[in-house]
Amino acid sequence: MTTKLTLTVEEDVIKKAKSYAKQTGRSLSELIEKYLETLTEEHRETKQISPKLRKLVGAVKLPADFDEKKELNNYFESKHL
């Protein structure tokens, strides 16, 4: 169930956020929802994640069939071979 939420945010921040949302193909509501989910996850070990990386969580959409190990292996092979 979704619920409407009213926020008070600086105008320039809203403009930047809307632009970012548009560039990434998402809505501002989706960005905020994902950010709040990230903040409130109970089982996440945030001590191991840097603050810069925490800001990126949810910002990248990967295909459902994305294979992280395969892509990482391909990267290292191309870099070192």
Neighbour-count burial of 66, counting CB atoms closer than 10 A to its CB (0-12 exposed, 13-18 middle, 19+ buried): exposed
Domain boundaries along the sequence of the chain: 11-80
pLDDT at residue 44 in the model: 58
pLDDT at residue 12 in the model: 94
Task: Evaluate whether 40 touches 61 at the Cβ level (below 8 Å).
Answer: no
Q: What is the DSSP letter of 47?
A: G
- To the question of pTM greater than 0.85 for the whole model, the response is no
Tokens of 8: 């008070």
Per-residue pLDDT tens listing for the chain (81 residues): 889 999 999 999 999 999 999 998 999 999 999 888 888 876 655 556 777 777 777 777 778 888 888 888 888 888 887
